[in-house]
Amino acid sequence: MRIASYFPDDELLKTFPKFSKHEFIENGDEKCEMIFCASVTQYRRVPRGTGLPMVVHCWDLPTNWRSWCRNEHDYAVNVHRDSEISNQLHLMAEADLVIACSEHTQNVLKIMGIKSEVLHNFYGQGEINAILEGRDIKRKNRIIQVSRYALNKRFDLTLSMWAKIQDKYKDWELMLVGPKGDVWGEIKGTAMRRTKILGEQNRAKLVTLMRESKILVNPSVNEGMGLTPLEARHMGLDVVSGDQPWTHEFGYATKIFEPDNVDAYAQAVEDAIASPFETPQAWADMTADKYAKRFDNLIRKIK
């Protein structure tokens, strides 16, 4: 089948079509028989009223964005989410099939009246292995957070956690890495000892920085599922994560703490330092080729 595809700017997600028996045409053409919106965030690009069956992938739906806001500025920065979520719900309501990346996302969609099928996303196992192949990368006493600098990623909580424990661990450092977001200006100006705040890195550099580290922290309060923690466990890092539904669904966290509780966060990191869990873990079914097979099986339901 020839499928009109609308992908976000995500090179990893774009890799699965090469394992599919179908042909994906970015932005489509007159010969396409189906529409695939690879993220609800692309709702503006997807043509409507074509008569073609439509499949929409939903990573998450941040309906709880007000809970992230600390002040009026945070509210003003995020208030646009209501209209975006409304548009995304309208798109999914028109779809013949909605794919949720996790059971957690499926439950959120169900509350909003959207029926969906769960298809756990894949992560770049082969890509990581290729980058690291033949390299002797030494571990450093480093805690790392990797994410876009967005309010719900809770970089502020990580900095508060580090302020509590850094004097006890003078041979450790904290590193924050990710593309710019709405709190980049606030976070980049932070001056703390043994703290490195980096912007977006290319993929090879990011994998190297993660592999050098010992602990990945993931305090985010809204995700459909977290790919970075899966990658971290694949590379043998401890993962300290806030207690969220998807954390239990995928079982990748080695230490879990109560969300938004800086004392519990600090204790979880200290536990990880004291009792490291550095056995790599790979999720064998979460590869691009197996994702493609499951995707192909799902879309057969609407032919």
Q: Are residues 66 and 196 in the same domain?
A: no
Task: Using alpha carbons only, give the angle 181, 193, 149 rounded to the nearest 5 degrees.
Answer: 10
Total structural domains in the chain?
Answer: 2
Mean pLDDT of 16-39: 95
**Mean pLDDT score across all residues of the chain:** 92
Q: Are residues 232 and 130 in the same domain?
A: yes
Quick check: 276 pLDDT over 90?
A: no
Asked if residue 282 belongs to a domain, the reply is no
For residue range 76-130, list pLDDT tens digits in order: 988 999 999 999 999 999 999 999 999 999 999 999 999 999 999 899 898 999 9
Tokens of 18: 């090469």
Range of the structural domain that residue 20 is part of: 2-122+287-302
This prediction's pTM: 0.91
List the CATH number of the domain containing 171: 3.40.50.2000
Rounded to 5, what percent of the chain is helix, strand, coil?
Answer: 40, 15, 40
Quick check: 303 pLDDT over 70?
A: no
Would you say 103 and 118 are in contact if contact means Cβ atoms under 8 Å apart?
yes
Quick check: 235 pLDDT over 80?
A: yes
Quick check: 206 pLDDT over 90?
A: yes
For residue range 129-161, list pLDDT tens digits in order: 999 999 999 999 999 999 999 999 999 999 999
Quick check: 222 pLDDT over 80?
A: no
- pLDDT value, residue 268: 96
Give residue 261's pLDDT band: very low, low, confident or very high (50, 70, 90): very high
Burial of 180 (0-12, 13-18, 19+ CB in 10 A): middle
